[in-house]
Each structure stands twice: as structure tokens, then as C-alpha cells.
């Protein structure tokens, strides 16, 4: 794996920080020390120049990769400027909400007997009209379950409910879907189960085999779609992320050993700006271990939380961009990685405004385009990583 010059520079910075750490607690308040530590991560001289005018879509395609983003229906439907940016920059669209069981607005599953495909169909048509690939998120998850779920689904009918959902939803788009996140976030090492499975309603109602059932039914229903297991918390050199990487690998090995048709790992890659525990060697090894199982890899929800970063947008944007480029330099070095999707395209519409808002009230800046749809250094970082990626 080529040594990424910027990552070795980062290592030098971290060594410097290590020295500071021994001083850090002397005299300085912790929060002031932490912001100093994070400011020290900023490298004002780092070069983020992106050569040429090509869009992220074009730069990805030139390497046999796909770049795209998640988008929520109300934004894409009502914001023509955002929609135009989306078509220019993205080669694949994933509904942020429309293919989950239930997100307030126009839910897919308003009641046990009804499917409302209004949003998902409109977005499928938008993708088709604009020659975009379409991907589904997500058939089985413990979040975004409908209000009626807990009073309606029980151990007697759970499998029938699950199978009907997958057959109806995946069946509607069969042959048109690039890939499906069949099961999302099934691993939680803090649950201390031997199999490290998250204690979700699906596990409690159906046992661990709910995962195998979901993939088998999805494969029967849409043999053309790439079937993905998707999860988060796999990025950093922390005990938690290391444990989760190990648990995800064991899950994938278990599934493969039983002939369960999982074909790819989706790595959400919600990065944390200012997180210094980044080990490119360990991360690269993880990607290699997944690929060695014959699985493809998609980066499915890339963004950078900037809540711990300084308010100064020039500093913040540089640190966010550095996080993106350093991460993608490792990820895209693995030929099994076929796609990079950000979870949103513009800071105008990002889940992090609600879920990881800043204590100073400043608008978050996690995505390639700013709220005025102008490219940021984050855009440059992704462009540079795509330009540097080995051709597939």
C-alpha cells in the first residue's frame, strides 16, 4: 500500500501532540488544552488542490468507482439547485429516509397492511431520469421501526412480517437496484453476547438467523442487486472500533460459511473531526481482511462530525478535509472498494445538524458542498482521493 505522505505528516503531528499531552494537563484547563490539541492538528500549509474541473462523479468513474450521496425526498423534490448539484456530482442516489420502514413524513409502512412508495418511487424515477444508479437503505434495522411495530409483531408472526416486507419492497425495484443495505447495524460489542449481536427486536423475536433469512429472501427477490451488510464504528484505532471490526469480520465469516448470500460490506464511515487515533496500517488490514472473503466494500455514509473542532471555518474545513482524504487514501487503496457515498451532499441538508450539533450553535460543515452549494475543501479532499485511487 503506497505510504500516503500526508498520513506520515499526520503521524509527525501526533508525535508532537504526544509531547504536548504530557504538558497538556499542566496548568491549562482541560477544554482549553483539548482545543489547543485539536488546533495543533490543523496544517495551514496542507495542499488540497484538486486539478481540473471534473465532477466527483467523473473523477470516480475515471477510476472505475462510483461516487454518490444520500438525499431526503423533501430536499430533492423541492430544491432544484440542490437537485442540479446532485446530478452533476453524483452517480448514485440512496434515499436517506424513503426506504426505511418508517420516517415521519410519508412513511413506507404507515400501518401493518400498507406500503406507501410515494417517496421511494419518486426518487427511483429521479435516478432513472438522470441516469443515476439507485441503492436501497435499509431492509432490516432496529431504528425507524413504525409505531405499530411493537404492538403488532410477535414471535409467531415476525418471520412472516419480515419476509413480506423484503419481498414487497425489494420486489418492487427488482432489477433496478444497484445494491441493498439488507441488514443495518446488527453488531454491538457492548451487549457482551458471544456473537456480539445487537439486542434488536429482530434478534429477540427471531434469533440470530434473522440476518440469514433477510439475505436469503433478498437474494431470491432481487438476484441482480448487490446485497450489503452495513455498519458503523469501524474507522479508528480505539478499543471499541477494533472490537467492532473483529466482530463484523466474524459475522461475515459466519454468514459466508453458511452460504448466506452476503456480497458486500457497507462501511458507514461517519468520521470524527479531531479524532487522532487513526491507524492507516490497521485500517488497511481490515479492508484486506474483508476483501479476502470475496466481498466487495462500499463506503456508504461518509461525513465528518465537526462538533469538537474550532468555530473558525477555515481551520474546521481543513481538519474535515484532512480527515476525509486520509481516510479515503486508505479505503480506496483496496480494489474491493467499489463506491463512496457521503451521507448528504451539502451542509444545507445533513443529519448531523440535529444529531451532532455544535455547542456554540455554529452550523455544522461535514459535507463536500457548503450550505450555498459551493465546493469546500471537503470536496477537494474527496476529488484528490478519487484522483489518487488505483484504477479498478
Binding residues vs ligand XIL (CB under 6 A): 96, 184, 232, 268, 301, 351
50 versus 299: smaller Cβ distance to ligand XIL: 299
Q: How many CB atoms lie within 10 A of CB 155?
A: 10
Q: Give the separation between CA 236 and CA 239, rounded to whole angstroms.
A: 9
Catalytic option among 185, 306, 317, 325: 185
Query: In angstroms, rounded to a whole number, what is the distance separating the alpha carbons of residues 364 and 112?
Result: 37
Rounded Cα distance, 78 and 277, in Å: 40
* Closest listed residue to residue 371, CA positions, set 352, 348, 353, 350: 348
80, 98, 140, 233, 372 from 137: Cα distances, Å: 23, 8, 9, 18, 27
In terms of Cα–Cα distance, which of 235, 376, 257 is closest to 317? 376
Nearer to ligand XIL, 7 or 225 (CB): 225
Q: Catalytic: 121?
A: no
Q: Tell me whether residue 231 is one of the annotated catalytic residues.
A: yes
The CB density around residue 135, as the number of other CB atoms within 10 Å, is: 28
Task: Work out how close the CB of 364 gets to ligand XIL at its nearest, in angstroms, rounded to a whole number.
Answer: 13
How far is Cα 250 from Cα 187, in angstroms, rounded to an integer? 10
296-305 vs 337-342, strand pairing mode: parallel
State the residue number with the nearest CB to ligand XIL: 351
User: What is the C-alpha separation between 141 and 365, in angstroms, rounded?
Assistant: 27
Instruction: Closer to ligand XIL by CB, 184 or 279: give it.
Output: 184
- Closest CB 164 distance from ligand XIL, rounded Å: 22
Point out the catalytic residue in the list 275, 301, 334, 347.
301
Helix 30-39 vs helix 5-24: crossing angle, to nearest 10: 160
- Given a contact cutoff of 8 angstroms between Cβ atoms, the answer to whether 173 and 136 are in contact is yes
Give whole-number Cα distances, 257 to 146, 181, 220, 251, 341, in Å. Answer: 33, 20, 19, 10, 29
Q: From the CB of 100, what's the least distance to ligand XIL, in Å?
A: 7
Judged by CB, which is closer to ligand XIL: 196, or 342? 342
Contacting residues for 312 by C-beta, under 8 A, at least 6 apart = none
Q: Of 231, 241, 317, 333, which residue is the catalytic one?
A: 231
Measured from the CB atom, is 136 or 310 closer to ligand XIL? Answer: 136
Min separation Cβ 135 and ligand XIL, Å:
12
Compare residues 286 and 351 and give the one whose CB is closer to ligand XIL.
351
Give 38 or 227: the residue with its C-beta nearer to ligand XIL.
227
DSSP E strands in 170-244: the ranges are: 179-184, 226-231
270-272 and 264-267 strand pairing: unpaired
Give yes or no: 185 in active site. Answer: yes
Just list the catalytic residues: 185, 231, 301
Amino acid at each position: 500500500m503506497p505510504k500516503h505522505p500526508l498520513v506520515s505528516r499526520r503521524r509527525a503531528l501526533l508525535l508532537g501532540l504526544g509531547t504536548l499531552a504530557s504538558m497538556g494537563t499542566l496548568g491549562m484547563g482541560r477544554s482549553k488544552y483539548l482545543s489547543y490539541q485539536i488546533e495543533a492538528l490543523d496544517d495551514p500549509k496542507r495542499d488540497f488542490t484538486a486539478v481540473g474541473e471534473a465532477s466527483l462523479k467523473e473523477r470516480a468513474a475515471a477510476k472505475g468507482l462510483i461516487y454518490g450521496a444520500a438525499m431526503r425526498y423533501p430536499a430533492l423534490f423541492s430544491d432544484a439547485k440542490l437537485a442540479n448539484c446532485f446530478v452533476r456530482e453524483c452517480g448514485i442516489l440512496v434515499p436517506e429516509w424513503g426506504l426505511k420502514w418508517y420516517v415521519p413524513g410519508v412513511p413506507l409502512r404507515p400501518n401493518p397492511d400498507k406500503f406507501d412508495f410515494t417517496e421511494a418511487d419518486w426518487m427511483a424515477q429521479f435516478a432513472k431520469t438522470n441516469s443515476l444508479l439507485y441503492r436501497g437503505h435499509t431492509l432490516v434495522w432496529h431504528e425507524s421501526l413504525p409505531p405499530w411495530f411493537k404492538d403488532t409483531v410477535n414471535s409467531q408472526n415476525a418471520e412472516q412480517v419480515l419476509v413480506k416486507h423484503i419481498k414487497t419492497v425489494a420486489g418492487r425495484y427488482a432489477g433496478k437496484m444497484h445494491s441493498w443495505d439488507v441488514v443495518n447495524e446488527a453488531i454491538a460489542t457492548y451487549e457482551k453476547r458471544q456473537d456480539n449481536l445487537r439486542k434488536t427486536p429482530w434478534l429477540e423475536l427471531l434469533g440470530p438467523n434473522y440476518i440469514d433469512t433477510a439475505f436469503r429472501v433478498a437474494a431470491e427477490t432481487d438476484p441482480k442487486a448487490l446485497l450489503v451488510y452495513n455498519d458503523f464504528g469501524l474507522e479508528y484505532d480505539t478499543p471499541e472500533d477494533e472490537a467492532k471490526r473483529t466482530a463484523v469480520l466474524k459475522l461475515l465469516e459466519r454468514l459466508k460459511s453458511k452460504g448466506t448470500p452476503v456480497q458486500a460490506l457497507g462501511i458507514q464511515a461517519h468520521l470524527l473531526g479531531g479524532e487522532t487515533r487513526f491507524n492507516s496500517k490497521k485500517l488497511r488490514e481490515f479492508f484486506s481482511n474483508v476483501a479476502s472473503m470475496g466481498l466487495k466494500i462500499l463506503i456508504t455514509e461518509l461525513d465528518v462530525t465537526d462538533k469538537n473542532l474550532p468555530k473558525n471555518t477555515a481551520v474546521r474545513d481543513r481538519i474535515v478535509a484532512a480527515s476525509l482524504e486520509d481516510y479515503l487514501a486508505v479505503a480506496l487503496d483496496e480494489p474491493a472498494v467499489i463506491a463512496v457515498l457521503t451521507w448528504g451532499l451539502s451542509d444545507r441538508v445533513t443529519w448531523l445538524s440535529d444529531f451532532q450539533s455544535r455547542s456554540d450553535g455554529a452550523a455544522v460543515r461535514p459535507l463536500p458542498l457548503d450550505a450555498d452549494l459551493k465546493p469546500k475543501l471537503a470536496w477537494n479532499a474527496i476529488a484528490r482521493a478519487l484522483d489518487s485511487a488505483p484504477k479498478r
